[in-house]
Amino acid sequence: MNLNFFDQFSSPSLLGIPLILIAMMFPALLLPSPGNRWINNRLSTLQLWFINLITKQLMIPLDKKGHKWALILTSLMMFLLLTNLLGLLPYTFTPTTQLSMNLALAFPLWLATLLTGLRNQPSVSLGHLLPEGTPTLLIPALILIETTSLLIRPLALGVRLTANLTAGHLLIQLISTATTTLMTTMPVVSLLTLAVLLLLTILEVAVAMIQAYVFVLLLSLYLQENI
């Protein structure tokens, strides 16, 4: 039974071919495709309004130099948001529960923000490793601490997203298993657990949206420090 709880996080395959690529490309089918008309239907209008709202929120802490990253950050936000939400559907696989994938998204983008700062303003970027007015005896320790905190940022991004989604999926499966098991023996308790399951599902929808936003927002804040 314990093994079955974690089977949902293993990448499915068909004839030896991993299906995670299909799960990663499927959210792109839900985005509006460009056409000859400004407005195709109400759904595409709502999607474009939502994308515009996300772009504005992500670009608020950045100046004009950081607006070059608008396409990358908005695309990443939509990808994570749709992937997290689609993973809550029954009999689906959530790629963002894989730590390897989240690190593959976090590390290159974090490294790109770091290299941008070292190229444009190397003195300011290196100055973040040593706060002004630091006593001489604490300089080596503070440089080591700040360097460690800087290098651990992509790991924290990946682990935060993976841990929150994994915990939510496990809770949903545990409570749903309890609901079906208690249905024949204790129907009243089963109804109570069903109510808890519905509330938890609503909470997980909010968590899926918030974690996608936090992931991209932290990347934009890292970019703000280096431009």
Burial environment of residue 220 by CB neighbours within 10 A (0 to 12, 13 to 18, 19 or more): buried
d(C-alpha 77, C-alpha 211), whole Å: 10
pLDDT (0 to 100) of residue 161: 92
Residue 188 belongs to what domain range? Answer: 18-32+40-226
For residue 88, being part of any structural domain is answered with yes
Inside any domain, residue 3: no
Q: Is residue 1 part of a domain?
A: no
Q: Say if 207 falls within a structural domain.
A: yes
Beta strands in the chain (DSSP E): 13-14, 17-18
| Predicted local confidence at residue 58, as pLDDT | 85
In this prediction, residue 2 carries a pLDDT of 46
Q: Would you say residue 8 lies in a domain?
A: no
pLDDT on residue 1: 44
Going through 55-158 in order, the beta strands assigned E by DSSP cover: none
In a domain, 93, yes or no: yes
**Residue-by-residue pLDDT tens, the chain, 227 positions:** 444 666 666 666 676 666 666 767 777 777 666 666 666 677 777 878 888 888 888 888 787 888 888 889 988 998 899 889 888 888 777 888 888 889 999 999 999 998 988 888 877 777 777 777 777 787 788 888 888 888 999 999 999 999 999 888 888 888 888 888 888 888 888 899 989 999 999 999 999 999 999 999 999 988 888 87
Q: Which of 80, 86, 35 lies closest to 58, judged by CA?
A: 80
Residue 185 lies in a domain: yes
What does the pLDDT read at residue 37? 66
Tally of domains in the chain: 1
| pLDDT at residue 3, rounded to an integer | 47
Residue 93: predicted pLDDT: 79
**Nearest residue to 169 (alpha-carbon basis) of 204, 135, 143, 136:** 204
Is 65 part of any domain? yes
What pLDDT, on the 0 to 100 scale, is given for residue 33?
A: 65
